[in-house]
Structure 1
Amino acid sequence: GSSAAAAGSAGSASSALREAFNVRLDELTVIDLCFLHGGSKPAIAILYQDAKEARNVKTYEVLLRDKDLAEGPWEEKHVEGGASILIPVPLPYGGVLIVGEKSVTYHSGASFVAVPMRTALVRAYAKIDEDGRRWLLGDDRGELSLLVLHAHAGAGAGAGAAGSST
């Protein structure tokens, strides 16, 4: 499997990562990874390609005391085949944006919303608002797209409209 190093700080002071350590992943072809915001334990999301060339997202909790990973809290099999970027969304939304060539998907474990977009290879992103409500996505043609997250009453956050401008 692949190996990853955990370092830095995440979550509350009691769950802060204080020293680097290596962990082993079962996923061999890791495309992208990120730490997730919120939660009682630090968690990472991994975008990977499996042996059948399907792309999937899997999350792991970082077990600081054991210096290991535990599967969960959620997993999403067979995301868009062109998915290449994971964007961690800060609280109050939380979750992650899975950016592909034809869609952007918001996933929080509890909520899952996919928004189609014009085919593009997104190469860069920037958070506009501190709460992660609006994002700029830059593609390989030099065009910028605006992605807006909308909270739905009783259902947490979800991806809303994606518009494009140059």
Structure 2
Amino acid sequence: EKKQSAPSSSSSDVNIRRVAAAAKTYRPLLCVLYQDYRKGRHLKTYALDTRLLELTNGPWDTLMVEEGCNKLIAVPAPLYGVLFIGQYSVAYRYGDNCQRVQVPDGDLCCFDCVQHKRPHINIHGDGDGDGEEEQNNTMDVAIADENETEPTFVDGARWLIGDGLNRSLNMLVLKHTANFIVKQLEFNKLGEIVSPSTVSYICSGLAFVGSCAGDSQFIEIHSDKEWRKRREQEDDDDDDDDDDDDDIAMN
């Protein structure tokens, strides 16, 4: 991204792609993602004067963004700002603070905010629903060092993002300071899923992956420690069942 002066073209020369309300200011702030007549894409802000009911130029400089950028997401308190998603990158902006991370070439088509506290997470898929053996996709994703003093687990710090082209579920992490200033973005693949049309985080580590093909999934997100403990318990239960069968056979 690079900063540039506000475009001089009229509204008839631009195509507004997305709008999001994005900041904690004394006046409501609107972020507008638009495409100009040269097919360049930009992020511009407008401040709403609630007394005069007028839009004025916002406090942020107009930003030129990736050509394929097509998503604009408002980040909730206490981090605030906006995320804009492109084909090759995901970026965050709040005022003059701009952070960016490259992502694999794909189609980041759906997203939702994760609002539960885990130091590490995994994804556990339930297969394709055709009665075949269960397929598990697990990958440990370090959200933050457990010894860090910064409050990592706040609203808006983690996002589930579905990739329709690569059929994957990913986690975007906004790493920030104790003063809630975003310093770095991390993008990690959690595992393979159906081709998603929507991703919705429900609660208690459960998420729904919707699919237009009729093969939607429920996904359980949990810590790696919980996953190992559960599998060990299942293995112990299987061993106990085998011992009971042997006792019955001997009798």
CA-to-partner distance for each residue in 1:112-163, whole Å, 9 max, x for gaps?
0110000112111100026100001112233211000011467821342100
Counterparts in 2 of 1:57 and 1:72: CA distance versus 1, 3 Å: same
Matches within 5 A, 1:12-91: 26=11, 28-91=14-77
Tell me the residue number matched to 1:146.
171
| Number of residue pairs aligned between Structure 1 and Structure 2 | 142
1:97–1:104 Cα contact (<8 Å) kept:
yes
- 1:72 is displaced (CA, Å) by 1.1
The answer to whether the Cα contact below 8 Å between 1:105 and 1:159 also exists between their aligned partners in 2 is no
Q: TM-score, normalised by structure 1?
A: 0.78
Between Structure 1 and Structure 2, the one with more strand by share is 1
SS at match of 2:32: strand
SS in 2 for 1:51: coil
Deviation at 1:30, TM superposition (A): 0.7
126-135 or 81-90: bigger deviation:
126-135
In the alignment, which residue of structure 2 is the partner of 1:105? 91
For the pair 1:93 / 2:79, whether they are aligned, the reply is yes
- Contact persistence 2:74–2:82 (CA under 8 A): yes
Which protein has the larger Cα radius of gyration, Structure 1 or Structure 2?
2
> Comparing 54-63 with 137-146, which one deviates more in the overlay?
137-146
Equivalent of 2:156 in 129, 132, 148 = 132
Kindly report the root-mean-square deviation, in angstroms, between the aligned alpha carbons of the 2 structures: 1.9
User: For residues 94 and 71 of structure 2, what CA distance do their matches in structure 1 show?
Assistant: 16
Any idea what SS the aligned residue of 1:132 has? coil
**Offset, 1:47:** 0.5
1:120 aligned counterpart, secondary structure: coil
What is aligned with 1:164? Answer: 189
In the alignment, structure 2 segments of 5+ residues that lack a partner are 1-9, 116-153, 193-251
Structure 1 residue runs of 5 or longer lacking an equivalent are 1-24
Query: Which amino acid letter does the alignment assign opposite residue 32 of structure 1?
Result: R
| Matched residue, 1:6 | none
SS of the residue 1:81 aligns to? coil
Q: Partners in 2 of 1:159 and 1:69 — Cα distance?
A: 32
Distance between the aligned counterparts of 2:30 and 2:158, measured in 1?
Answer: 22
| TM-score, normalised with respect to structure 2 | 0.53
